Amino acid sequence: MTTPARSLNFIEHIIEDDLKGGLAPKKLKFRFPPEPNGYLHMGHASSICLNFGLGQRYGAPVNLRFDDTNPAKEEQEYVDAIKRDVAWLGYNWDQECYASDYFSQLYDWAVELIRSGKAYVDSQDAETMAVQKGTPTQAGTNSPFRERSIEENLCLFDEMKRGLHPEGSHVLRAKIAMDHTNMLMRDPIIYRILHRHHHRTANDWCVYPMYDWAHGQSDYLEQISHSLCTMEFTMHRELYDWFLDQIIQPDLVRPKQREFARRNFSHTVVSKRKLLQLVEEKYVSGWDDPRMPTISGLRRRGYTPESIRQFADTIGIAKRDNLVDLSLLEFSVREHLNKIAPRVMGVLDPLKLVIENYPEGEVEWLEAENNPEDESAGFRQIPFSRELLIEKEDFKEEGNKKFFRLALGGEVRLKNGYIIQAVRCDKDENGAITCVYCTYDPKSKSGSGTEESLRKVKGTLHWVSAAHALPVEVRLYDRLFTDPTPDSHKDVPFLSLVNPNSLEVIQAFVEPGLAEAQPEDRFQFQRMGYFVVDKDSKPGKLVFNKTVGLRDTWARLEATENGG
Ligand code: ATP
Ligand code: MG
């Protein structure tokens, strides 16, 4: 099987250059390194598809590494969710690793640094150290503890480890240079005291390594060849390399950090901290609320792993930050669901329709094609009877040239059924239409081959038989934020921009054949969009989430607003 040719992205160019420069192909190895402090989101999907995509392209292993160095924010629940989401996206990791597995090794290496005079214990408070850091244009000043003796440093660091000192009383710092042009190199902290319970190491540790000390060394321990991260780490690369220099052994792979642009998406936020706020302050029902940009939210919304991978592939990776339009993701899922989702009929806003010349009490089972895009999907039977439900918006007393639906005196075809003509309607005291009366042409049945069945009428409506229809709950979603960039406004908190109308719950009626549908089963409700069975469904009480409409209504709305 050949994969369609695609030009190399800049990361692949770097890898190709390394291979040309002598790196053995079997030494290629990647990792995806989430911090288990929240659920994965669409931005992570980009990074997952990048790393695992490289693994597939080069036949190289990819580790799943939990960057669990901050016990204050990390939890087992998040570890479990992350594993579930990566697997659901369709990727198999080589090893499941944890930075916390390396705590002993990292500690030993830190002791080595002290022994070689390259690290010291600083006993000042955070504010004082911050002031001593200097500014980008001004050198920092040395800490009065910078020249502590090796013995004293070893003794203090050991005491820190044994829990003899309170949080904030001491830190271990690398001794690099306080006048370095890169501020991150001005004696960075490598260990801090935290008297916290860790989700894996429990109370074994009272000192925890900082990200910079843990990350590169973990890459090295796992022999990762290319450590890809987002661009806010560009300035950290120098430190990453300095730390590696302290431990590197000949004949082992030296990991290389390279950076790519963080993805932002329109009409949502992708920062775990902000997503956690949406959850904790109950703007949404949880991390997997179908409005959330999390992988588990997208799954519950009816997205397929294929569509998310396709989307990540389409947007690719970049060197500059940019905003990706959410409608691109919607396009991907629409395209995939069009191929795989069985068609069914469901009426979201019912209006009763009576066929006056259809025999009372009679039920006919009509044959309907499950998916015109997939012959193997076969056919099903749907009941037809004298009283049906149609969509309210599909009937008007008076139509016009642009109204291809049902109007008094006009004709339409009922999908998979007959041609009907509207005769009259009932209204309530407010003038709202409550029932439409029609006649049907018994010879016009779809697929019967008669002349009448082949007759073209301009509109086709979906419907369900009133007596057979299955009442279901349907949850309709709009964007969680109507603002395209909710977290980019200086004076407006993003939470104040949550769309108050992002969820509408209605009762709808679907074909009876759906009674056995299971959570995560996806369907196209013909003419209405794609829907998925929600996990809140109970026997006899199905709940559907609307995944996406059949067309991009937002693009249309925006075009209208712009006068297009
Ligand atoms: P957040 O701010 O959402 O917590 P993070 O970068 O702190 O993001 P991590 O769990 O540390 O989250 O990220 C794991 C990997 O995913 C990192 O390599 C990170 O660079 C990448 N990543 C996170 N967010 C994005 C994004 N929006 N676009 C691309 N890659 C991302
Ligand atoms: Mg992070």
Q: Where are the alpha helices (DSSP H) in 116-210?
A: 126-132, 150-161
Fold of 346-462: Ribosomal Protein L25; Chain P (2.40.240)
Residue 506 CA to ligand 1 centre (angstroms)? 36
Residue 541 is given by DSSP the state B
Tokens for 348?
Answer: 């979201």
**What is the rounded average pLDDT of the residues 532-553?**
94
d(CA 501, CA 498): 9
Q: What is the pLDDT, as a whole number, of residue 91? A: 98
Q: Whose CA is nearest to atom 1 of ligand 1?
A: 271
The best mutation among 37, 40, 44 to test binding of ligand 1, ranked by most ligand atoms within 8 Å of the C-beta, falls on 44
Q: Whose CA is nearest to atom 18 of ligand 1?
A: 229
pLDDT band per the 50, 70, 90 thresholds, residue 562: very low
The bound ligand whose nearest atom lies closest to the alpha carbon of 265 is: 1
Residue 228 CA to ligand 2 centre (angstroms)? 13
pLDDT at 160 over 80: yes
The bound ligand whose nearest atom lies closest to the alpha carbon of 66 is: 1
pLDDT band per the 50, 70, 90 thresholds, residue 1: very low
Instruction: Give every strand in the sheet of 433-440, ordered side by side.
Output: 460-461, 411-414, 419-427, 433-440, 350-355, 387-391, 464-465
Residue 282 CA to ligand 1 centre (angstroms)? 23
Q: What is the pLDDT, as a whole number, of residue 7? A: 86
Among the atoms of ligand 1, which is closest to the Cα of residue 264? 27
Query: Nearest-CA neighbor of 415 among 378, 459, 374?
Result: 459
Tell me whether residue 564 is exposed, middle or buried, using C-beta atoms within 10 angstroms of its C-beta: 0 to 12, 13 to 18, 19 or more.
exposed
Residue 235 CA to ligand 2 centre (angstroms)? 16
Among the atoms of ligand 1, which is closest to the Cα of residue 33? 14
d(CA 78, CA 75): 6
Q: Phi and psi at residue 546, in whole multiples of 5°?
A: -80, 125
Domain parsing of the chain, residue ranges? 23-260, 272-342+472-561, 346-462
* CB 93, CB 62: distance < 8 Å: yes
d(CA 309, CA 316): 10
**What is the rounded average pLDDT of the residues 414-422?**
97
Residue 292 is given by DSSP the state S
Tell me whether residue 454 is exposed, middle or buried, using C-beta atoms within 10 angstroms of its C-beta: 0 to 12, 13 to 18, 19 or more.
exposed
The bound ligand whose nearest atom lies closest to the alpha carbon of 35 is: 1
pLDDT band per the 50, 70, 90 thresholds, residue 556: low
pLDDT band per the 50, 70, 90 thresholds, residue 401: confident
Per-residue pLDDT tens digits for 141-151: 999 999 999 99
Fold of 272-342+472-561: Ribosomal Protein L25; Chain P (2.40.240)
Q: Whose CA is nearest to atom 8 of ligand 1?
A: 271
Q: Is 59 left (phi over 0), alpha (psi -120 to 50) or beta?
A: left
Residues at CB less than 6 angstroms from ligand 1: 33-35, 43-44, 46-47, 67, 229-230, 262-263, 270-272
List all residues 6 or more positions away from 34 whose beta carbon is below 8 Å from its beta carbon.
40, 44, 64, 65, 66, 67, 82
d(CA 171, CA 132): 15
- Tell me the pLDDT of the chain averaged across its residues: 95
Q: Phi and psi at residue 180, in whole multiples of 5°?
A: -65, 145
Q: Whose CA is nearest to atom 2 of ligand 1?
A: 271
CB atoms within 10 A of CB 305: 18
Residue 34 CA to ligand 1 centre (angstroms)? 7
Residue 56 is given by DSSP the state H
Q: Whose CA is nearest to atom 7 of ligand 1?
A: 35
Same fold across 272-342+472-561 and 346-462:
yes
Can you say how many angstroms the Cα of residue 310 is from the centroid of all Cα atoms in its chain? 13
pLDDT band per the 50, 70, 90 thresholds, residue 53: very high
Q: What is the pLDDT, as a whole number, of residue 57? A: 96
Residue range 23-260, CATH number: 3.40.50.620
Residue 183 is given by DSSP the state G
The bound ligand whose nearest atom lies closest to the alpha carbon of 67 is: 1
**What is the rounded average pLDDT of the residues 11-16?**
97
pLDDT band per the 50, 70, 90 thresholds, residue 561: very low
Per-residue pLDDT tens digits for 71-86: 989 899 999 999 999 9
Q: Whose CA is nearest to atom 13 of ligand 1?
A: 34
Q: What is the pLDDT, as a whole number, of residue 459? A: 94
Tell me whether residue 413 is exposed, middle or buried, using C-beta atoms within 10 angstroms of its C-beta: 0 to 12, 13 to 18, 19 or more.
buried
The residues carrying an active-site annotation are 35, 262, 272
List all residues 6 or more positions away from 386 whose beta carbon is below 8 Å from its beta carbon.
354, 355, 358, 359, 360, 361, 362
Residue 38 CA to ligand 2 centre (angstroms)? 10
pLDDT over 90 percentage in the chain: 93
Among the atoms of ligand 1, which is closest to the Cα of residue 233? 20
